[in-house]
Amino acid sequence: MLDENCPIEEVRTLFANDHFATEACGCRVVEASRGHAVCEFDIGDIHRNAQGNVMGGAIFTLADFALAIGCNMGEEPTVSVSNTIEYFASTKGSRLIATCEADRSGRSLGFYTVEVTDDLGARIAKMIATCFRR
Q: Is residue 72 part of a domain?
A: yes
Q: How many domains does the chain have?
A: 1
pTM here is: 0.95
Q: Is residue 61 part of a domain?
A: yes
Q: Is residue 40 part of a domain?
A: yes
Q: Which pLDDT tens digit goes with each residue over 70-125?
A: 999 999 999 999 999 999 999 999 999 999 999 999 999 999 999 999 999 999 99
Note down the domain range covering 103: 8-133
Q: Is residue 1 part of a domain?
A: no
Q: Is residue 2 part of a domain?
A: no
pLDDT on residue 1: 62
DSSP letters, 52-101, are SSBPHHHHHHHHHHHHHHHHHBTSS-EEEEEEEEEE-----SSEEEEEEE
Q: Is residue 3 part of a domain?
A: no
Is the pLDDT at 2 greater than 80? The verdict is: no
Q: Which pLDDT tens digit goes with each residue over 11-35?
A: 999 999 999 999 999 999 999 999 9
| Domain CATH number, residue 65 | 3.10.129.10
CB 28 within 8 A of CB 41: yes
- The SS3 assignment for 17 reads coil
